[in-house]
């Protein structure tokens, strides 16, 4: 992850994202209920599975329905593969259109300056890595087993689709805007998703609309 080369803050990306982020998912069966009000999900994990889906998006597109904590990988024939996800907490939700620019297995983590300002205690876990101060990839890394890096045009949004070292947070509003999956699920999605894949994050009542 090229943290030093990032050109946009998350706020700037939200303000400049394409208008194509309007609701494009007409209906997909099997979505769970409304977001819980706590940070730990006590519901049983749901493995990735096929659901019926009516959408204007082309097969291969990723559509994130943050309200229902699910991500859809659109398939041919009116179907999609549904994955459980954790999404942005209050004040960090966003909507927009991006593309997968880069993919990494067991990625290093480079927290943003904003994140370190909110959680200065994290600095004690950081070391000097090739691209700056961060945490080396591995089972204890917050990015988990895989990461897919979302760019808007030629600029890094600083948002990621990634795994997690806290699987019980999947299904909740917990992140600083990134989309997190259980490690076994993100490995499956990673293997199905090439660089260049379009990603649509649908608006919610609390997201920054574009």
Catalytic member of 3, 28, 53, 178: 178
Active site residue 28: no
Q: Which long-range contacts (CB under 8 A, 24 or more apart) does 51-55 make?
A: 51/79, 51/80, 51/81, 51/82, 52/28, 52/78, 52/79, 53/25, 53/27, 53/28, 53/29, 53/78, 53/79, 53/80, 54/25, 54/26, 54/27, 54/28, 54/78, 55/24, 55/25, 55/26, 55/28, 55/80
d(CA 178, CA 174): 9
d(CA 136, CA 152): 26
DSSP single-letter state for residue 106: S
Active site residue 178: yes
Catalytic member of 3, 152, 162, 208: 162
The residues annotated as belonging to the active site are 162, 178
């Amino acid at each position: 992850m090229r943290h030093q080369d990032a050109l946009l803050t998350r706020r700037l990306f939200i303000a400049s994202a394409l208008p194509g982020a309007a609701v494009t998912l007409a209906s997909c069966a099997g979505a769970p209920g409304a977001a819980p009000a706590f940070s730990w999900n006590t519901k049983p994990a749901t493995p990735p599975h096929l659901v019926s889906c009516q959408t204007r998006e082309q097969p291969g597109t990723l559509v994130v329905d943050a309200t229902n904590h699910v991500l859809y990988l659109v398939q041919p024939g009116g179907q999609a593969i549904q994955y459980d996800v954790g999404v942005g907490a209050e004040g960090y939700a966003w909507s927009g259109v991006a593309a997968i620019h880069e993919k990494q297995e067991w990625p290093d983590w480079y927290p943003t300056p904003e994140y370190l300002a909110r959680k200065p205690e994290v600095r004690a876990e950081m070391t000097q890595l090739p691209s700056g101060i961060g945490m080396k990839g591995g089972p204890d890394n917050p990015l988990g087993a895989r990461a897919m890096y979302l760019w808007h045009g030629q600029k890094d949004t600083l948002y990621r689709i990634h795994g997690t070292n806290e699987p019980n947070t999947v299904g909740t509003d917990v992140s600083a805007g990134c989309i997190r999956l259980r490690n076994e699920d993100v490995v499956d999605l990673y293997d199905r998703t090439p660089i260049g894949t379009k990603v649509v994050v649908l608006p919610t009542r609390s997201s920054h609309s574009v």
